[in-house]
Every structure is written in structure tokens, then in C-alpha cells.
Amino acid sequence: MTDKKKKFISPYEHTAPKGSEGWKELYPYFLVFQEQLKEQEEDKFFFCDSQHWPNVFKPFDAMTVEFAVKCLSQYNSRHYVIPPANGVDFKIHNGYCYMSPVAVSPELIEGRVPEFMERAGYYFQNWNELLENWHKKVKRVIDDMESIHFEPLPDRVDIQAIKGGVGLDPTFQMINDYNKLISLCYETWQYHFEFLNLGYAAYLDFFGFCKEVFPGIPDLSVAKMVQGIDVDLFRPDDELKKLAKLAISFGLEKCFEKKDVNEALHCIALEENGGQWLQAWEKAKHPWFNYTSGNGFYSSDKYWIEHLDIPYGYLKNYVEKLQRGEVIDRPTEALEAERDRITTEYAESLDDEARAIFEGKLGLARVVFPYVENHNFYIEHWAMGVFWRKTRELSRMLKEQGFWQQESDMYYFRREEILQVLFDYGNSWAVGVPAVGPAVLQEEISRRKKIVDALATAPPQPAFNNPPKVVTEPFTIMLWGITTEAVESWLGGDEKSSHMKGMAASPGLVEGYARIINDASELDQLKQGEILVTRVTAPSWAPVFNKIVATVTDIGGMMSHAAIVCREYGLPAVTGTGSASTQIKTGMKIRVDGGKGTVEILEELVEA
Amino acid sequence: MKPTYSLFFKDAKPEQLESLGGKGKSLASMSQADLPVPQGFCVTTDAFVAFIQDLMTAKGLFASLAKLDTKNMGSLDKLSGEIRSQILNKTIAADIQEDILASYRSLCEMYGKEGDLPVAVRSSATAEDLPDASFAGQQDTYLWVVGEDEVLSHIKMCWASLYTSRAIAYRKDHNIPEEDIHMSVVVQKMVNARVAGVTMTLNPTNGDRTKIAIEASYGLGESVVSGTVTPDNYLMDKVIFELVESSIQDKKIALIPDPANKRVIEIEVDPVKATEACLTRDELIFISKIAKRIEKHYGCPQDIEWALDADAEGEEAFTLLQSRPETVWSNKKTETKKHYMSGMQGLVGSLINPLSAKK
């Protein structure tokens, strides 16, 4: 062990890259480390959450961490009163986000138990009904967002508004709609955590029990016993597979030789059964193409429904595979049989009393766990997909009004700054003078772009300040895979090594050539049989899992997206290696042992 | 119909099991349950009966035995000696010999040897004839027997072991007719252990039945069993076959067979090799899988002695030497059982107790 009394640097000593001066103004004042609070902040241990937010935030996008982590926290601290855990403190530093779990003082824990029992107990007992209601609420939020439209202001107030004695103008509606959209996004994040923390709590309970009665049980075994087989998160990919099979059965293969999605769809329309196939394609789109190749936290995420070339690329690949006689289905039956075998064997080794408890805990974990896997589709993909689409609609409209030159420019402003822009627009419309924004905003956008680009030149620090002796906060371990060992390895992780250790996230031993993917846009570089090495994967990368033979990530625990998807696809995965994506280079031959959680560089690159 | 004089363990049909003697029968049943005992065959009781009947009748030895007074030690020893030397000197009838040698040749072929596979030759008496192991000639085990002539002569040595003075006297005293006695001989591949060890189908430190504990070192298993070497220690998960823990030791010495001198010698292990894990991950997995199968076969946790045979590859190399029921934890009932909390109480407990303390 490297216990040389090492600690991480203070964020106050961590300088920003050149060219990023003034970066703090891009984010809310309470989300950056303030000089006045130096002593207080340096007392906390922060780790970088690059699992959810791997890239530098544009100012508008910082809203995602603000809403998400605030809502996560409120459910711990105020809704369910989780005995040992309050919320998670969070800050943005040099463009990246850092988390600091807030523990409950030991003397207060016991007193919180009765409240937790009552509150969480109610949810566990009424899980299915409450969850059904959750689906309704989320669907309503999505519908409400869909109903919002941002259009240029008309020349005159509609005559009907005059005759109806409405007494309001379209700017009033526009500003209301903007506020409503932000508020619906906030509401989305409330619901996101309504069930998630409890889902993790039940999982942890089963996990802890297994660790006790089967000392040394691999984490993977626990995950496998709980894991769902038919998960909504995989539906988009499954829909593509169905479409691929339908295309083959209709004899539409030749249309899939086309590179361009529109050409392919045109070709299909002209075929005999083409109409029927296109109907199936349309049906699959809603809602399953509300699916991002990112993770839903960035305005730059590309959603399938707006970029049909993405699902088409996967679909084309499936059609080709089917033509070659390859199997494209996930081995669901085998996974189910394996899950049953594993569960039965562990259960059988227990005496009757312990077995009854095992089964009780497993039962609860299995009731709640589908939410842990599925919520992602409904929130990050579907709801956030609609949210980002609507914000783009607004940005596009304002672009057309001359406020900026690119659709993505709006995201260089904080969300409350957009209100000013809307007032500027509405004001100019009312007064009958040109808006000020078009004359001045572009310069500010360019300045901010430079700052964001400069911040992106430096990777985040793994952590700040003094690490705790032992990481005990249950959600930190579960969600982020931050364990005492992980923190230790970051501290000692300066020296280069051909051996890397991470979490044994999905079993199997594979050797192959690595490809480093830094961003979803690079996914098309992946070649059949390569090993995906990346900071973090998003679940929507699922279709590439048919191409690759293993996954290695820097960040993530047993329940990280990469881990879940790899187990589902039967691929080896090592997550949470800390630095694999920088230590390994594309083209290196590596060995991934998903059972042991190790990655080894077998062949260094030959310098050209 | 011509009787079957030689039978491979794996080929014996249920109605033939009686002709294999006690040891042969047990080997056949393990072999047929796919437990990886060293391959081999039995020279059946039919072969013995045919050989002995022939000999005894021709030389009038049954009559001499009938007349024998067992109280007279001198004549008992004399007759015993005569019978045994007659057995050793008599050529085995051609049809019996053909069967035995055909089996030996097949066994050689299985291991890619040309007629020179070292085997162990052991007597396998039937229990009714010889209720006491000490009379059974069970001690008659000949190791590192090589070649056809040697195999045949050692089979005869096993047969002859039925006619020690003590064995003859015992039968006389218990009115067991000489004409009825049977014996089978087991001919089994010698294990040329490259790595050997002991495996328990539970965690010996806490009785957890979802683990498999493996101890292993280079060479023959005697060094592990006797404790002359600190073996590598591995703990495997019995359900998903993942390595949970391991401790790799410096295994400086190994015991290996010296076939020429029919003994075991101690050698020094190459220092680099000595400190490396003596089992690969694949080996750990198949050892665990086989151990689990053995446990299932016997229906309770087992303590298994095994070896990896240098003459075979992969899973084929695993050789089961002995399996006994595990006694320590299997007999311990509920005395140290913990009380586990269920429902919300349990859930609260799990949240409050640091998870990392349980790892």
C-alpha cells in the first residue's frame, strides 16, 4: 500500500489552463469554489464525476448537474431520510464537476431510522402502484414539453386575442414557455431520483447480506442474481434488430447497401413491401428513437430521432450480419438460465433460516432493480431528448432573429441569461427598434467559446483534498465505484504501468487491439473485433457492443452503464481503471480479464 | 460364449461389476460417473477363475488344500509356497493373455505410448471372500510397472497373494470353499504428477459452501499432504468460478517419481518457477468444476486429493486420487450461526454498516 500520507491537491491550488481566465463567470456562483470559503471547502474530499459528466460544461448545460445532484440529495436528506447519508455536495471546477458525499454524524444516524422505515417502507410496500404512477407523471412531463413551441414573434397580436379580450402578447407566452420548459426539466430530475436511491438501497442490502453469508462472493455474482433480462434500456437496439430481420424477410437487403439513410428509405419506399417496413420503422421511432449516443447530460448529445443516420448505421450493420448468417440477438435465454442457476446454487448452500432471508432480500432487489436499469431510457433518453430538442428549437429561432450565428451558440449562456435575451427580443419587438443582442452577443459567445475550449485542453483531476480513510457512503460506492482501494490507486497512479486494475464488471478473458474513443462522435471508427477503451460509456452505445469484444473504462462501478451493457451482451468488461484511456493507445494489443478486473498491455506500439 | 477376461473401468456394464472386485467396482463407478480417475482396466475374476481352476485341477492342488491341516504350520507354509510358485511359473492361457495385453496396449495408446506406459497393478478382492483387508492382499500394489511381460507377471503376483498361509488358513477356518474364491486385478495408469494438491469443496476457514479451497504445489501431492512445502493457496467461487483470493508461496522443492528405481525423489524447483503460481486460471477453473462434480456425486462436501498428469493436457490432466467426505464443517451444525435481520430492519442495517467493511 502506498500510504505515504498522500493527499490530493486543493482545488484552490489547481490552476486553470491558459486562455480560460474568467471561467468562473460561466457557472452559477454557488457551484464554484469561492475564495471566502477556502477553509471550509478544503476540509471536504471531492472526487471528479467524469462518469456522468466527462466533458467541460457549456454554461447552459451545467443545469444538468445542478438539477440531478440536488434532486439526488433531497431524496436522501429530506424525503426518505436515509440514516447514514445526506446529499452529495458538488462543485464545478475548471469546467469539470466534482462530488463530495455528505455523511450524517454518527450520533444522529439512529434517530433517523424510524422516519426512514416509515417513508422508504411505504415506497417498498407500494412499489408497483407508485411506479405505475411514476410512468404517468413522466409521460405527462414529456407531453408537456412536446407541446411547447418556440416561434418568431408575429407582426401583430392575433385578432382573436383582441376579440377575446386576452390582454396578453406572444412574448408573455414565449417567456412563460421558456420558464415552463426549464421547470419541466427540473421536474424530470425530481422523478429521476424518486425511486433510484431506494432501488440502490435495496440492492445494497442484498449485496451486504451476500457479502456476509458468502464471504468473498464476487460482486459480479450479486449483480448477476439481481440483473433484469428484459430491460427497456435495450429496447431501442432490439427494435433495430427486429427491423433488420423484417428487412431480410421482405427482401429489402439491397436498399441497405446505400450509405445515406434518406437514399435507403427512398429505395425502400419503392419496394413491394417497402410501405409495410416503413410503417414498422415509424412505429419503432416513437418512443424508442428518443435515444442518445451520449448520456443525456449535454446539449451536444445526438438523439437518434434527429440523426437517423445513427440508427441507420447500426441497422445496416445488422442487416449485413444477418446476410452473413450471423446471430444478432442478445442471448437472453442463456442469461436467464444462468441467472437462475447462480441464484439457486447460492441459495442451496444456506440453511433454511438464512435462505428465507436471502430470498426475501433478493425478492425486493428484483422488484426494485428494473427501475435502476430502466429509468435511464425514460429520463436521460426520452425526456431529456425532448428537452434538448425544444431548447434547440428556441436557439434556432433566436439564431434566425440574428442573436447568434450557430444553433449551438445559445448554450454558451447560463439559463437565466436566456431570459434576458428573450426580454431583449420581446422588447425590441414591442418598441420597434432592433434588438441589442445581435450587435453584442456574438463577441461574448466567441469569448466564452475560447474559455470552454481552453478548459477542455486539460483533463480533470481525479480528486481534491484529503481522502477519507475508508469510503463508506453506500451510494458513492454503488454509483461511482469510489472505493477505498480506488482512491488509493489514484493516489499512487502517477507511475506508468502495463498492468491496470479496475472493477471486475463482466467476466471473460479476451486479447485484442484497443481503440480509444474519446467521444460518441468517434464511435464509427470502431472496427469489428476491437476492444473499446474509453473514459466512460453511455448505454446508448449498445449497438457498438455487437462489434467489439470487450470494454475498458476509466470510470464506473459494478452498476455503471458499461458494466450493465457488457453483462447483457456477454462481453468482458473492466470498469473504473482510473487511467486506461490515457495509458492505452489505439492499436495496442491488450488483454482484458473481466473476471479479475485487470487490463494488461501486451504489445506497445512500434514508433513509426 | 467366451468370458470377458479384461474390462476397462468405463466399459463395465452393471452385471459385470461383480467381476471387478471391490476396488475395481468403485473405480468403474467413479469412471462412469465421469469422475476423472486415472484410466485403466480390470483383469476380471473370470480370468482368475479360469487360470486357477486350470492350474489347481492339473496339479491336484484343490485336493491338497482340502486335506490340509491348518494347525500344522509347516505343511501350511509348504503348500502355500508351492501354490504361489506354481502361479508365478505358469504361463497365462493364450486367450486370457490376449485380452489383457489388448487392454494394456489400448491404455498405452490413450496416452500416446508405445507399449511402455507405467502402470500400477493392484489386487482387487471381492469382499465376501476376504472380509478383512489385511487378508485381502490389498497391500499388494505394484507401482511403475512397465511393459507387457512385467504387467503379466505382476498380475500373477497379485493372484498369488491370495495363497499366503494366513489367507488359506482364514478360508479353511471360515469354511469358504477354495473353488469359490475370486479375485480381480486393477491395472491403472501411473499418474505422472506435474502439479498436485488438495481441494475442499467449501471454505475451510468459515464453512462457506459457495467456495472451493485449493492448495497446490509442484510434483507429487505427498509434499502438500505431508507439509514439507507450503503450497499455493487459492479460494474460488463455486458458483461462477472466479478466483476470490490467492496466496502464492515459494515452493522450493518438489517430489517427483523416479520410475527406473521405482521410488520418489526430491528435487529443487527452479527459483523463478518456485515463486510463480503453480496453477493457471484455466486450471483453477476446471479443478473447481470437477471438484463440484465430485461433491455432487457423493452428495456432501468433499476433501479431494488430485494431481495434474504431465502426460495429458488441459482438463484431461486432472486426476482424482482420493475423495473423502469433509468432516469439520459438515458435522458442525448451528452452534455459531449468526442472526440475520430481514425486511426493513435488515435494510437499515446494511445502509448503516459500512459496506467496505464487508468486502
Lowest-confidence region among B73-77, B88-92, B254-258, B283-287: B254-258
Query: Helices (DSSP H) in A214-253: which residue ranges?
Result: 219-226, 235-249
Residue A559 vs residues A536, A549, B123: alpha-carbon distances, Å: 13, 20, 59
Q: Is A477 close to B356, i.e. CB distance below 8 A?
A: yes
Structure-block grid coordinates of residue A78:
429530506
Q: Residue A179's beta-bridge partner residues? A: none
Which residue among B242, B343, B353 places its CB closest to the CB of A360? Answer: B343
Interface confidence: ipTM more than 0.85: no
* Nearest neighbour of A220 by CB, restricted to B208, B240, B281: B240
Please write the tens of the pLDDT for every residue from A104-148.
998 999 999 999 999 999 999 999 999 999 999 999 999 999 999
Residues of chain A with C-beta less than 8 angstroms from the C-beta of B341: 357
pLDDT in tens, A464-473: 999 887 776 6
Q: Distance between CA A230 and CA A203 in Å, rounded?
A: 18
| Rounded distance between C-alpha atoms, residue B99 and residue B103, angstroms | 6
d(CA A565, CA A546): 11
A471 vs B334, B347, B356: nearest CB: B356
The HSE-up count of residue A370 (CA atoms within 13 Å, CB side) is 13
3-state secondary structure of A450: helix
Nearest neighbour of A474 by CB, restricted to B210, B341, B351:
B351
Check pLDDT > 70 for residue A32: yes
Percentage with pLDDT > 70 across chain B: 92
Contact A474 B355 (CB under 8 A): yes
What distance in Å separates residue A493's CA from the closest CA in chain B?
A: 21
SS3 assignment for A468-536? CCCCCCHHHHHHHCCCHHHHHHHHCCCCCCCEEECEEEECCEEEEEEEEECCHHHHHHCCCCCEEEECC
The alpha carbon torsion through A585, A589, A595, A596 (nearest 10 deg) reads -70
* Residue of A340, A344, A472 to mutate when probing chain B, most B C-beta within 10 A: A472
Q: Characterize the bridge pairing of strands A96-103 and B243-247.
A: unpaired
Q: Which of A345, A485, A574, A600 to mutate to test the interface with B (most CBs of B within 10 A)?
A: A345
Q: Span B60-88, mean pLDDT? A: 90
Q: Tell the residue number behind the cell numbers 473514459, with chain if given.
A: A535
**Nearest-CB residue to A209 (from B211, B340, B356):** B340
Per the omega criterion (within 30 degrees of 0), is the bond before A287 cis?
yes
Contact yes or no for A550/A508 (Cβ under 8 A):
yes
Better-predicted residue by pLDDT, A544 or A42 = A42
3-state secondary structure A385-428: HHHHHHHHHHHHHHHHCCCCCCHHHHHHCCHHHHHHHHHHHHHH
Q: Is B336 on the interface with A (CB under 8 A)?
A: no
B134 near A CB under 8 A: no
Distance from the Cα of A102 to chain B's closest Cα (Å) equals 14
B94 touches A: beta carbon within 8 Å: no
Q: How far is A98 from chain B (nearest CA, A)?
A: 22
Q: Give A537's pLDDT tier (boundaries 50, 70, 90).
A: confident
pLDDT band at A211 (very low <50, low <70, confident <90, very high): confident
B2 in A contact zone (CB under 8 Å): no
Instruction: Give the dihedral sign, CA A278/A248/A321/A255.
Output: negative
- SS3 label, residue B134: coil
Residues contacting residue A565 through CB under 8 Å, at least 6 positions apart: A537, A539, A541, A542, A545, A551
Give CA A357 to chain center in angstroms. Answer: 34
Identity of the residue numbered B290: I
Residues of A in contact with B343 (CB under 8 A): 360
Instruction: Tell me the angle at which helices A274-288 and A261-269 cross, rounded to the nearest 10 degrees.
Output: 140
Q: What is the mean pLDDT of residues B304-331?
A: 87
**Calpha distance B44→B51 (Å, rounded):** 11
Q: Judge whether B242 is closer than 8 Å to chain A, CB to CB.
A: yes
Residue in A342, A474, A483 nearest the CB of B240? A342
Residues of B whose CB is below 8 A from A207: 350, 355
From the CA of B315, how many Å to the nearest CA of chain A?
A: 18
Calpha distance B178→B157 (Å, rounded):
18
B299 CB within 8 Å of a chain A CB: no
